[in-house]
Amino acid sequence: MAKRQTLLIPGDVLKELLEEYQINITQLANDIGLSVSAVRQIVNNKAKVSLHIAKRLSKYFSTDVEYWINMQHAYDLAELDKDPEFTEILKSIPKAKKAGTSTRGRKAAEKTPPKKPRGKTEKQEAAATKARKPRVKKVKPDAAEEPQTAEDE
């Protein structure tokens, strides 16, 4: 039988730490640069511990940032699992199938010849080459005997 892990609720943990350190909400809020209202909402489990707040709490209480982040994440997942509407949505979502795993798709792929790479045909290439003529720069007749091309410049 697997042990059931106790779910830590961020607000409850914060409330316990405030009692342990004998700190009130106002003092914590002032020390970590948050409003009293924001801290009170976290303590009452009405607001989440964001990344910014997790960094502040971890520094203040000498804990790891991951402690607060993971606790909030686990709590959020547990709350989501309790939501019957979301559970119904999850039931209706099919699982993705990797390409080539179904027999129908495999047979269709075997019958279809490979596609030729896209690009110009030989006729199109020849026509494009013929169409390209070097640009000729017009020069006064007494300046030069032969016309100069753009490549000679």
Distance, in Å, from the CA atom of 4 to the CA atom of 48, rounded to the nearest integer, reads 24
> What tens digit of pLDDT does each residue of 12-30 get?
999 999 999 999 999 999 9
Q: Domains in the chain, ordered, with CATH?
A: 10-91 (1.10.260.40)
Backbone angles phi, psi at 45, to 5 degrees: 60, 35
User: Percentage of residues in the chain with pLDDT exceeding 70?
Assistant: 63
Inform me whether the pLDDT recorded for 147 exceeds 60.
no
Give the tokens for residue 74: 């686990």
Distance, in Å, from the CA atom of 26 to the CA atom of 113, rounded to the nearest integer, reads 73
pLDDT of residue 100: 79
Backbone angles phi, psi at 127, to 5 degrees: -65, -40
Q: How many CB atoms lie within 10 A of CB 39?
A: 25
Average pLDDT, integer, range 115-142: 64
Inform me whether the pLDDT recorded for 113 exceeds 70.
no
